[in-house]
A and B are shown apart, each in its own frame.
Chain A
């Protein structure tokens, strides 16, 4: 029962935002703040009651073995917190522009929030798939309606790409379902079914499910939809895509991949980790030569997610814990990076870095706060990025030293491309495009300040964050070891 509000609050907010016309944005923000409050309350009870898993389950379509089961343990709570924190930030970030038909936009965003929240707490394979898919519909329409040039083709590619993965994941789930003794999609039953399979079959199931996640994150060579989609997506859409949505995939690795086919992961996981590391290097190098700031963020996101994926698949405590923390930091940093893009592009009309320059001398506040975000992204100690990346690389190093060493390069390469973008846009001479640059509004300052505080706050004192998921992660790994 405690878990239903996590779905109902965003859902009801979506409905009321749709019917509140011009005030939709305030309704949506209010709803998401209410949701944040509720999540913090859950966190409080979770900590005070000795970190017990909260569950909820009612039968739904018994003929198909589907139940409406939700479960919140430390891992899910981490992701729930992520989406609860990021959502109001995304909404607040969108206040600086007037979008046409905004009641529809905000309703779709909240709908997507509900679906994503659902995918983080689903404890039934079918239900997880449903939420996974439902989250795709609103973002597709957001990009199609409010997106930039060439959105028709790009969004269709995005949708089809994602569906390829999803359907193979569904096939894998059906396959597992048929190996459950009493034909059910319940989480534990799928775990047992998956673990009882011979190693080769586990490998196939692994491939099917990982395909879906690899496309969603994305991992090289399945990433081709991502930079274009991020590029044309309206800023709130891009924030949702990289801030929360791709975490559905990384969360999926923890909940729906590693424990389902542990032997498959142990046997064939090296391929996936290898691809993830290739993905890191590939995306980092592309980022270095990117001319456009928004595309740079897109590729940087691929690089970071590659590291998360590699760390998670190494399936040890450090890797998974690091992955979880990094998901949280990546969500916050993405909002920051895309918001800086939005600030610059609304003023200068371009995000090509060669045309920009010297913004810091016009708006020193933006320069300073962008610097903090950049430091967070490049994982400087005492920023939030550091905790996650450090743990991820430790985990990966324990798994395979060569791959770990290559993945470690990501930090150095990250410094190169992030500092390069900072240098080009913020330092140097003031270019034509930036000449009549208006100073930040208060709304913009507030949001950037919030991002910076979170970056530094989590970086300096990460212990409470790590404590949320630690117990659950250890239990999960013990479950596999048996």
Chain B
């Protein structure tokens, strides 16, 4: 409860800071708020707190909330210049913080109504942020597209929830699970359609093929910081919600639907990677790479039943950090449109940025000793354990394609540069990149054990 209050109040504080002249205080305040939520999550590991039957902070939601906080802190820190424009500082802070509160609702919901609220609270500020460059046509297009398709998927979600409600007479996830076992045949088909529609809505949110068409355009058109927010916080929140939804309906999913979801994994992995391999624009490339990670995460959570949560927490954290690193450097290179050639010679002009990108790319490609390797490994192991050997082979092919396009960026950086050395990074940004690199390297080696151990104590501690 406290966590949600802290997040919302900080958002309100951002609104009033305009006339209290506290603009400069907003960044520390936002980071402090996220830190305190992170601290609370760690403090209350294993304890359970139900919030009026609508949401619950428990061993499921706390790890996800912690990951969201870590990503949020890194995001505010790395992209703080985004908020420097005097006129809009407070608006942006308020929007970002409210959206973050929505994410917190999404990871902790126990009631489908709360899920819908969370999705909307998360999305609406992001629609606005996506169009924050008002004079930019592409930005407007992105915002509009995101809004329209987001509204569309909300419709799916509502329809799905309504059907589930119709079959069970309740919005509460626990009660729904309890009622699944003895349903009349008509209600069973209602549940199945409702399930499929809801999953489709989630597939929109996490950009799984074939519901991914909006993603490249929106990611390309939005300002880099907002794209970074979308591929990290928004995606992690949506995945956490999806996993909880899967858990609730475990056992009630008929074989045909299960195959359809495996098909979703397959399509996402293949489509994303094949298209990404031919991209020249880095933002689009990263968009497709993000879709390909959606494919991996989907494969992971759908094939692994018992500790899917642990897997997803680890994957989200690692993927999020790598994405933030890559987008931070992209933002440093050029504010907006970015061709792969913009990375040319970066190794000679700005070594720290280049090394950070190399780390991020290697991690996303899943190459040891970087953290992304264990993440991808666990997905492949999960698929293999579920007896889906073919999906492992698909995952391997996808990884190979991914190496191809991630390495395109690395190779370009090694080429001699023709331009003058780029401007220096500020100290805080250098530290940001160092921290990200350390996390990507360390999470695998030393902390890899620590992280998964903490998670285990989170998951089974009570």
Residue B267, interface by CB 8 Å: no
Distance between B174 CB and nearest chain A CB, rounded to angstroms: 27
Contact yes or no, A137 B403, CB < 8 A: no
Interface string of A137-158 (1 = CB under 8 A from B): 1000000110000001001100
Q: Are B449 and A60 in contact (CB under 8 A)?
A: yes
Q: Among residues 361 to 398 in chain B, which have CB atoms less than 8 Å away from a CB atom of chain A?
A: 362, 367-369, 373-374, 377-378, 380-381, 384-385, 392-393, 396
Q: Which residues of A contact B253 (CB under 8 A)?
A: none
Contact A156 B449 (CB under 8 A): no
**Neighbouring B residues of A289 by C-beta, 8 Å:** none
A145/B400 in contact, CB under 8 A: no
Instruction: Determine the distance from Cα of A212 to Cα of B393 in the docked complex, in whole angstroms.
Output: 15
- The secondary structure that dominates the B interface is helix
Contact of B407 with A by CB under 8 A: yes
Q: Does B452 contact A (CB under 8 A)?
A: yes
Q: A63-B456, A134-B369, A137-B367 in contact; A159/B381 too (CB < 8 A)?
A: no
Which B residues are CB-close (under 8 A) to A134? 368-369
- Using Cβ atoms and an 8 Å threshold, which residues of chain B touch A160? 400, 403-404
B414 within 8 A of A: yes
A61–B368 contact, CB under 8 A?
Answer: no
B449 touches A61 (CB 8 A): yes
A178 located at the interface, meaning its Cβ lies under 8 Å from any Cβ of chain B in the complex: yes
Residues in A whose Cβ lies below 8 Å from that of B367: 133, 137
Name the one of A144, A145, A159, A170 contacting B403, with C-beta atoms under 8 angstroms: A159
Interface check B148, CB cutoff 8 A: no
Name the one of B307, B407, B448 contacting A159, with C-beta atoms under 8 angstroms. Answer: B407
Q: Which B400-416 residues have C-beta < 8 A from chain A?
A: 400, 403-404, 407, 410-411, 414-415
> CA of A168 to CA of B374 in the docked complex: distance in angstroms?
16
- CB of B392 within 8 A of CB of A171, answer yes
Q: Would A171 and B368 count as touching, CB distance under 8 A? A: no
Option from A129, A159, A171 in Cβ contact (under 8 Å) with B396: A171
B450, closest chain A residue (CB): A61
A174 and B381 form a contact (CB under 8 A): yes
A454 at the interface (CB under 8 A from B): no
How many Å lie between the Cα of A156 and that of B410 in the bound state? 10
Residues of B within 8 A of A130 (CB): 368-369, 373
B404 touches A178 (CB 8 A): no
Residue of B362, B410, B456 contacting most chain A CB atoms (<10 Å): B410
A167 to B385, CA, bound (A): 16
For A137, the chain B residues whose CB sits under 8 A away are 362, 367
Residues 320 to 340 of chain B near chain A (Cβ within 8 Å)? none
A145 to B310 Cα, complex, angstroms: 39
* Cα separation A64 to B378 with both chains bound (whole Å): 8
A-chain residues with CB within 8 Å of residue B110 when the two chains form the complex: none
Question: A156's closest neighbor in chain B, by CB?
Answer: B407
Q: Which of B384, B399, B452 contacts A61 (CB 8 A)?
A: B452
Nearest residue (CB) in A for B404 is A160
From known contacts A145-B414, A170-B380, infer whether A156 and B456 are also in contact, taking CB-CB under 8 Å. Answer: no
A178 near B400: Cβ-Cβ < 8 Å? no
| Residues B448 and A133 in contact, CB atoms below 8 Å apart | no
Find residues 155-187 in chain A having any chain B CB closer than 8 Å to their own CB.
155-156, 159-160, 163-164, 167-168, 170-171, 174-175, 177-178
Is A62 among interface residues, defined by CB-CB distance under 8 A?
yes
Smallest CB separation, A320 vs chain B (Å): 29
Contacts of A129 in B (CB 8 A): 368
A170 in contact with B377 (CB, 8 Å): yes
Rounded to whole Å, the gap between the CB of A24 and the closest CB of chain B is 16
The A36-71 residues at the B interface (CB cut-off 8 A) are 60-64
* Min distance, Cβ A333 to any Cβ of chain B, angstroms: 31
CA distance A175 to B377 in the complex (A): 12
Residues from chain A with Cβ under 8 Å of B381 in the complex:
64, 174, 177
**Could you say which of B399, B414, B448, B456 contacts A163, with CB atoms under 8 Å apart?**
B399
- In the bound complex, do residue B414 and residue A144 qualify as a contact, i.e. CB atoms below 8 Å apart? yes
Say whether chain A's binding surface is mostly helix, strand, loop, or mixed. Answer: helix
Contact of B411 among A62, A144, A163 (CB under 8 A): A144
Interface residues on A, range: 20 to 34
Contacts of A164 on B, CB cut-off 8 Å? 396, 400
Contact A174 B384 (CB under 8 A): yes
Q: Closest approach, in angstroms, between the C-beta of B404 and any C-beta of chain A?
A: 6
B384–A175 CB distance below 8 A: yes
On chain A, the residues within 8 Å of B414 by CB distance are: 144-145, 152
B448 touches which one: A61, A145, A167 (CB < 8 A)? A61
Contact A163 B449 (CB under 8 A): no
B64 to chain A, nearest CB (A): 18
Find A152's partner among B307, B411, B449 (CB 8 Å cutoff).
Answer: B411
Q: How far is the CB of B387 from chain A (nearest CB, A)?
A: 10
Known: A130-B369, A137-B367, A171-B392. A62 touches B400 (CB 8 A): no
Q: How far is the CA of A104 from the CA of B410 in the complex (A)?
A: 17
Give Cα A171–Cα B388 distance, bound, in whole angstroms: 12
CA distance A156 to B392 in the complex (A): 23
> Among B381, B384, B404, B456, which residue has the most Cβ atoms of chain A within 10 A?
B381
With a cutoff of 8 Å between Cβ atoms, the chain A residues found around residue B392 in the complex are: 171, 174
Distance, CA A152 to CA B307, complexed state (A): 41
Chain B residues near A60 (CB-CB < 8 A): 449
CA distance A320 to B307 in the complex (A): 43
User: Is A62 within 8 A of B449, CB to CB?
Assistant: yes
A267–B308 Cα gap in the complex (Å)? 38
Contacts of B452 in A (CB 8 A): 61, 63-64
| Contact of A168 (CB < 8 Å), options: B369, B396, B449 | B396
Contacts A159-B407, A163-B403, A167-B400 given; does A174 touch B449 at CB 8 Å: no
Chain A positions 119 through 134: 1 when the CB is less than 8 Å from some CB of chain B, otherwise 0: 0000000000110011
Contact B384 A178 (CB under 8 A): yes
CA distance in complex: A164, B368 (Å) = 15
> Which residues from 186 to 204 on chain B have a C-beta closer than 8 Å to any C-beta of chain A?
none
B91-108, CB < 8 A from A:
none
Within 8 A of A (CB), among B409-452: 410-411, 414-415, 448-449, 452
| Chain B residue at minimum C-beta to C-beta distance from A153 | B411
> Nearest Cβ distance between residue A37 and chain B, in whole angstroms?
27
* Distance of A134 Cα from B370 Cα, bound (Å): 9
Query: Cβ of A174: which chain B residues have Cβ within 8 Å of it?
Result: 380-381, 384, 392
Q: Which of B262-319 contact A (CB under 8 A)?
A: 307, 310
**29 contacts across the A-B interface (CB closer than 8 A):** A61-B374, A61-B449, A61-B452, A63-B310, A64-B374, A64-B378, A64-B452, A130-B368, A130-B373, A133-B367, A133-B368, A145-B414, A152-B414, A152-B415, A155-B411, A156-B404, A160-B400, A163-B399, A164-B396, A167-B396, A167-B399, A168-B396, A171-B384, A171-B392, A171-B393, A171-B396, A174-B384, A174-B392, A178-B385
Q: What 10 A-B pairs have minimum CB-CB distances, sorted nearest first?
A: A167-B396, A133-B368, A152-B411, A61-B449, A174-B384, A130-B368, A174-B381, A63-B452, A144-B414, A134-B369
List 19 other contacts, CB 8 Å, given A62-B449, A167-B396, A174-B381: A61-B449, A64-B377, A64-B381, A130-B369, A133-B373, A137-B367, A144-B411, A152-B411, A152-B414, A156-B404, A160-B400, A160-B403, A163-B400, A171-B380, A171-B384, A171-B393, A174-B380, A174-B384, A174-B392
